[in-house]
A and B are shown apart, each in its own frame.
Chain A
């Protein structure tokens, strides 16, 4: 009896959420049709629907297409960018697992598309199996965008995460490495020095505890 009540409640919730989701999809498709024109919109909508069928977040795909339209990019460039984003999201899902949140998938796709190897994301997932990977992945993409070679960037973030550095410490490390790069240091050397600083000031026991705490 109790289980059937739960099942009923879940069914009602699903029935209520489904139209909301469908309405959001319709809204996104309407925006795409309005901004992309009759020839381009169907191509992008098809990619978006494919992604939705794979349970991938579709908002980044819509945003990428609308960005292309705002920048007056060509139709081929927009479709290519949306496809690239979709493949990045799918790869991130494959590496980070089915339980990964949308923000993690988006950050993971950003890292993969920036040139970070899938192995690095998998290692990061193993280093922080239950906590959120959004900040480590954002920091990783930022390093690559600032010119740190992908391998060095991966090693830096991975080592910091393995050492139990919490998200605020990762963000502080990012700022320090960015300052070093802006002062003219080579990005690879700056990332190495930034990691050394972080490890020197990180107490492994305390920070591991903090990470576990954050993961709960």
Chain B
């Protein structure tokens, strides 16, 4: 991709972001990687291909609760701490060149911070990266920034010119000599990077840019634009345009150094993955008792093509709701007086507690709303 095309892509992305921010659409969850480790499910795998190689990454997640399960803060409502572990490599690298990453992630509903360490083998030795960063979500734009400090082993050739006088047949003659010596060094690279991401529905467009500082060398500026499309809750189709240095990839197993196409699969994505996206589309809830033990329930949600409701009063069978205009979906159901648990889902996503209702943690499917019919 030429530099001109890349500039156009970045300009288009920034324009879309600003326009969407003024439009005030959905809430924006955190960026893909920095949403980790809580939001992608317990494990995810990425395979991508660029013009030189096929590369892959596997990352696992481990929530770090500090109290008994009941006392832990539910995801998306309070700050939670998690540990992300990943391994990445490519088809041209041997086992010694794999990249290992450990990352502590602390996130809240709209912002978060991370701190990580990463190592990768190379011909010259082991590269070590230390990184930290933060992200903040505005609607529907997310911004993030981070700094990665890298210790890069290099091998340079040291050249020495020297000479001596040699006595040849009572004549002193100057012998000019050059020696070459391989010297192992470690150089310090610092990569400062930032990104702006815009999400609409299943599509996320990002512009990532940064600068690489390498001692006496001139700073290297770089930029990349990415488009991610969530095909299903567990499958993300990815495309990236532009180049970025290896140090900027140290903490992102799903990113590539060059223009690439890839797919990311999270087969056991937890309910938390779609919750962050779908919960923001749930805008309202109402339940009104009618005659003869029937209750009209209504859910308001944006951009939905199918809305379903389940609860103990349906024996936990999903009941499709009917579109009633203005973003409202509803149905009239027989609900006996008493306490009931209820959940809704949009477009086959995760089951969620309706907005505004008190909640309770279920044994099988996360949080349910508590409905009192009198």
**A residues in contact (CB < 8 Å) with B:** 31, 35, 59-60, 63-64, 66-71, 73, 77, 81, 84, 102-103, 106-107, 110, 114-115, 134-135, 138-139, 141-142, 144-147, 149-150, 171, 174-175, 181-182, 184, 186-187
Residue A142 contacts which of B70, B72, B78, B360 (CB distance < 8 angstroms)?
B360
**Do A145 and B367 touch across chains, with their CB atoms under 8 A apart?**
yes
- Tell me whether B326 is interfacial, beta carbon within 8 Å: no
Q: A71-B316, A184-B78 are in contact. List 11 more A-B contacts (CB 8 A).
A: A67-B362, A81-B363, A142-B358, A145-B360, A147-B71, A147-B72, A147-B73, A171-B358, A174-B358, A182-B77, A186-B79
**Do A70 and B317 touch across chains, with their CB atoms under 8 A apart?**
yes
Tell me the bound Cα distance from A103 to B109 in angstroms. 33
CB distance from B138 to the nearest CB of A (A): 14
**Do B74 and A147 touch across chains, with their CB atoms under 8 A apart?**
yes
Query: Chain B residues near A70 (CB, 8 Å)?
Result: 310, 315-317
Query: Chain B residues near A139 (CB, 8 Å)?
Result: 358
B308-345 residues with Cβ-Cβ distance < 8 A to A are 310, 312, 315-317, 338-339, 341
- B interface, over-half SS: loop
27 of the cross-chain contacts (CB-CB < 8 Å) are A59-B312, A59-B338, A63-B315, A64-B363, A67-B341, A71-B364, A77-B363, A81-B363, A103-B338, A115-B68, A134-B339, A138-B360, A138-B370, A138-B372, A141-B370, A142-B359, A144-B71, A144-B361, A145-B74, A145-B359, A146-B359, A147-B78, A175-B356, A181-B77, A184-B78, A184-B110, A186-B79
Tell me the bound Cα distance from A71 to B364 in angstroms. 7
- Tell me whether B215 is interfacial, beta carbon within 8 Å: no
Query: Chain B residues near A138 (CB, 8 Å)?
Result: 339, 358, 360, 370, 372
**Do A141 and B360 touch across chains, with their CB atoms under 8 A apart?**
yes
B41-74 residues with Cβ-Cβ distance < 8 A to A are 67-68, 70-74
Beyond A66-B315, A114-B361, is A144–B108 a contact (Cβ under 8 Å)?
Answer: no
Beyond A70-B317, A81-B363, is A103–B339 a contact (Cβ under 8 Å)?
Answer: yes
Tell me the bound Cα distance from A105 to B341 in angstroms. 15
Residue on B nearest A190 in the bound complex, by CB: B78
Query: Chain A residues near B358 (CB, 8 Å)?
Result: 138-139, 141-142, 171, 174
Query: Chain B residues near A171 (CB, 8 Å)?
Result: 358
CB distance from A80 to the nearest CB of B (A): 8
Tell me the bound Cα distance from A103 to B337 in angstroms. 9
Tell me the bound Cα distance from A147 to B79 in angstroms. 10
- A interface, over-half SS: helix
Tell me the bound Cα distance from A64 to B367 in angstroms. 14
**Do A144 and B316 touch across chains, with their CB atoms under 8 A apart?**
no
Tell me the bound Cα distance from A124 to B363 in angstroms. 25
**Do A184 and B109 touch across chains, with their CB atoms under 8 A apart?**
yes
Beyond A134-B339, A138-B339, A181-B78, is A114–B70 a contact (Cβ under 8 Å)?
Answer: yes
Tell me the bound Cα distance from A58 to B67 in angstroms. 32
Tell me the bound Cα distance from A60 to B365 in angstroms. 16
| Listed residue (B72, B73, B317) with the most chain A CB atoms within 10 angstroms of its CB | B73
CB distance from A126 to the nearest CB of B (A): 22
Tell me the bound Cα distance from A54 to B372 in angstroms. 24
Tell me the bound Cα distance from A139 to B359 in angstroms. 8
Tell me the bound Cα distance from A153 to B74 in angstroms. 15
- Tell me whether B295 is interfacial, beta carbon within 8 Å: no
- Tell me whether B111 is interfacial, beta carbon within 8 Å: yes
Query: Chain A residues near B316 (CB, 8 Å)?
Result: 63, 66-67, 69-71
**Do B361 and A149 touch across chains, with their CB atoms under 8 A apart?**
no
Tell me the bound Cα distance from A110 to B370 in angstroms. 10
Q: What are the 4 closest A-B residue pairs judged by CB atoms, nearest first?
A: A147-B73, A115-B70, A63-B312, A70-B316
Query: Chain B residues near A103 (CB, 8 Å)?
Result: 338-339, 372
Tell me the bound Cα distance from A31 to B315 in angstroms. 9
Residue B372 contacts which of A77, A84, A134 (CB distance < 8 angstroms)?
A134
CB distance from A119 to the nearest CB of B (A): 16
**Do B71 and A142 touch across chains, with their CB atoms under 8 A apart?**
no
**Do A106 and B71 touch across chains, with their CB atoms under 8 A apart?**
no
